[in-house]
Structures are given as structure tokens and as C-alpha cells.
Amino acid sequence: MTTNLKLLNDDQVRRFVADGFIMLDSGLPGSHHETVTRELAYALAHEPVMLGDNVVPRVPMLQEVLESPAVKGAMVSLFGEGFVWAPHRFPHNSEPLDESCEVADPLASQLPMGKGSIAGSGWHQDGHSRAGRSRWHTFRACNVFYFPHDTPKEMGVTRLLAGTHLYANLYDIVAEQVVFQDIPAGTVIIADFDVGHAATPNNTDITRYMVKFVALRTQNPVAPTWDNTESTWKTPDDLITPFELPTVWTIQWNWLRGAPRSEHIDAKEVAALHGLLNNLSDRDQSTRLKSLYDVITIGAPAVDDLIKTLCETAGMDRHISPPPTEPGFAAQSRDHLERRFSQRQFVPEDTAIVLAAIGAPAVPYLVELLGHEDPWIRMNAAYALGDAGPEVAGNEADRVGELLDDPLESVVRVAADALCCLPTFGPQTIARIHRHLVEAIPEWQIPAMGEPKVSGNWTFQ
């Protein structure tokens, strides 16, 4: 590990676990951010080629932000020493409006944006565009938002929804979760990939710039990678999320520490299981999350009922991606219980999340479900085995790898994502991966979906 990294402390990591994001100063001089702002402004205004994922080669000083001791130290703290920057990064500009539009309601969505803006004002959780990658409750991907100049609220600052990183969709959000504040130059926000966020209108006469990066965890945690001094969870003062979810946060904290997920938690009685499973259907997000994580503490005695509940979702065609015009494509269905695969993301069943966290007692059942006749059940079983991790399910990695031969693209995508978390597969799985890299399946190649003015095609490879 680089010795000059500025690692996070326990309190900062706990805030990330509970709120789903942290803000920090990149620690670079003001002149650095001023130069980045000028370079972005010139390139976006005068150069015909869309910067898109090539923004760093065009503005190389952005790399210094990512390599700064504060930013890299925070990334190592939260996503491990082996974290990587994804090839997707993007400059998001918010152009001045012709007529002002004040944000009177913090929850307001789809507000008008200035012509030429590349920033969406509708509340959303990001997806890996057209890749159908999985939503994880464990911390495996994040957005990093860099603001190179002072960004007051009236300039169109990015809003966040604290605590929504564990939401399957944004059907139950409240104003108390909204983070809407002035942001100083050089600020970096590290947000779990599934935190809800939205742009706001620019009511000044100056363009607002923000650059987004995506980072990925490549190794399951085996020990804390931050400046860790305490093993137990302690809820920080003045969290932004208004809900008290100590069991949820403790289990997530334990996972980041590489410890057993239910360490330091009193198990719920088996007699409570039926009621807890019913609560997974509750419209109130805090009730759902409390119940979901309480079932985890029951452990092995809950597995039979969880498997039965998961299998009850067969036959609903949830493995078929809706078209981009439908709310379900972006996990914004009016049905708060909808879990499905889309080409934007795979949202697993809550029962699969619980089975993964319970771990070893669930593995034999999940392996059997890899052969289930319904694709949705196969996908959820693969997800759960992946999230259980190599220490628990590593011997079954090649069983997950067999799903790379599945005739359905959705199953193959979810299996491939699960294998990213199970780096214990052998030559047969490697051969299957190689085949997908070199043999294109025409019907799996689709047009790119992205920001305005971005075109091209995504290939399955």
C-alpha cells in the first residue's frame, strides 16, 4: 500500500455504510481545480468530438485527482487495495436556464435543464448501461463525483438520497433523505453505485461542470483496509438518513471488515421468521430492510422457508428485460415488489440477498437451484452464490460457470457477474468465458444507451 494514502477512519466508514456516501476534499490546490475547469470548458465548447469516456486523456489533470492521497486513500478504505477504475467516466455539464426554475421541493424530479446539459434531473439509481450487471447490497461499485469549481445550489448541484443504496427502487423516499447543499471546489463525493441522485437546474449564467468516475471492487474483503481501531458498530452522530437500522449497518460493517456477517448481533427467534418474511412485502422501506436483515441473523433455520419463498417467484417472466420506455427498465416500477432483470441492471429477489448473507447453510440449496427450469431462479441462485463469496461458495464456482452455456443472455450476464465475486473457477469456466469473448451472438448485440449526443453500439463482449 502507498504510504502517503490518507485512509478513512472508523467514523467515516460508518457514515458511508449508513448514508451510502461520503464527501471529502481532494486536497489539491485551488489552481489545479481552476485549470481543470478551464480545460473542460474549452473542450466542451470548442471541440467537435464528444469527450465521454475519453475525458481523462483530454484533461490529464483529472488523473491527479484520482491519485491524490485523500481520494485514493478513501477508495482503498472502502473498496480494497485492488480496486480499479472502470473505463466509463463522463463530464456532466449543467447549462444555464433561459428562465429560472427554483427547487422549492427537495424531492422534485424531472425539473427543466438548460439546453445542452448532460445531467438528468430525474431521481434515479445508475445502471451499467445495457450490461445488465447486478445490484449488490455489499459494497462492490461506486460513483465518484468530482466538482472542480465552487458549486452553489443555484448553479445546479447534484442532489443525493441518503440511505437509498439498499433500495431495490426509489418508490418510498422522503424529503429528510435529500442532500442538497453548496459544494466547494475540489470536493469529491464517493457514493455507492446504487445511491439515488439527480441533477438540479442551473439558475446562474455560468456553466456548471462535474466529472463522474466509476470504480469497482475486485476482491472480497478479508480485513479492514481503512484506519480501523474498533470492531463493533457504533452509529455515528448526525447521520443524514432518517432511519435507524443498526442491524443492517452492523452486518454491512462486518462484511467490510472481513468478519462473519452476524458477528456482535443477537439472533432473532425462529418464531419470528414468518412475520419477517411477510414484512419483505411492506411498502415502508425501513420495515423491509429491518426485516430482511433480521432474517439473516436467524441463519440456517430460515433457509428452507427462504428457498420456498424464492421459488414462488418462478413463472413471472422476470428474466425478460422490459424495453427502455418502461419504468421497470430502470427499476422505477410503481410496483414496489418488482424485482427483475433489465439490460440496465439485474435487481435480485430479497430472499437471494438473505441467502447469500446466511452463507454456508444455504449453499447446497442454491447449487441445486442453478439447474431450476425457470431462468429467474437460476439467476438468483447464481447471484446469491457470488455474493456469499469464495470463502463460502468458492468450491461451487464452476457450477455457476456452467450457466455461461445457458441459451438466455440474461442468465449468462448474471452468471458472469457472480463469477467476478468467485475467482476460484477452473479451466472449463475459463474456456466458456473465452468463447463468449471471441464468438459474437448477433441477437445479443444492441445499440448503446447513454447520454445525449453519445452514439455507438455496445457489444456483448
In tens, the pLDDT along 281-340 reads 999 999 999 999 999 999 999 999 999 999 999 999 999 999 988 988 888 888 899 999
Q: What is the pLDDT of residues 116-173, one digit of tens each?
A: 898 889 999 998 877 888 999 999 999 999 999 999 999 999 999 999 999 999 989 9
The reported pLDDT for the residue numbered 449 is 58
Q: What is the pLDDT of residues 437-459, one digit of tens each?
A: 998 888 887 766 555 455 556 66
Does residue 302 contact residue 365 with C-beta atoms inside 8 Å? Answer: no
Map residue 112 onto helix, strand or coil: coil
The reported pLDDT for the residue numbered 47 is 83
Q: What is the pLDDT of residues 360-400, one digit of tens each?
A: 999 999 999 999 999 999 999 999 999 999 999 999 999 99
Burial tier of 232 (Cβ tally within 10 Å: 0-12, 13-18, 19+): exposed
| Mean pLDDT estimate for the chain | 93
The reported pLDDT for the residue numbered 316 is 96
Between 90 and 304, the more confident residue is 304
Give the Å distances, CA to CA, from 96 to 44, 114, 145, 394, 454.
15, 5, 20, 52, 21
Cell numbers for 390: 469464495
CA dihedral sign, ordered 37, 39, 45, 48:
negative
Q: Match 437500522 to its residue by C-alpha cell.
A: 245
Quote the percentage of the chain above a pLDDT of 90: 83
Between 280 and 49, the more confident residue is 280
Does residue 63 contact residue 56 with C-beta atoms inside 8 Å? Answer: yes
CA proximity to 297, closest of 266, 328, 325: 266
Confidence of residue 1 (pLDDT cuts 50, 70, 90): very low
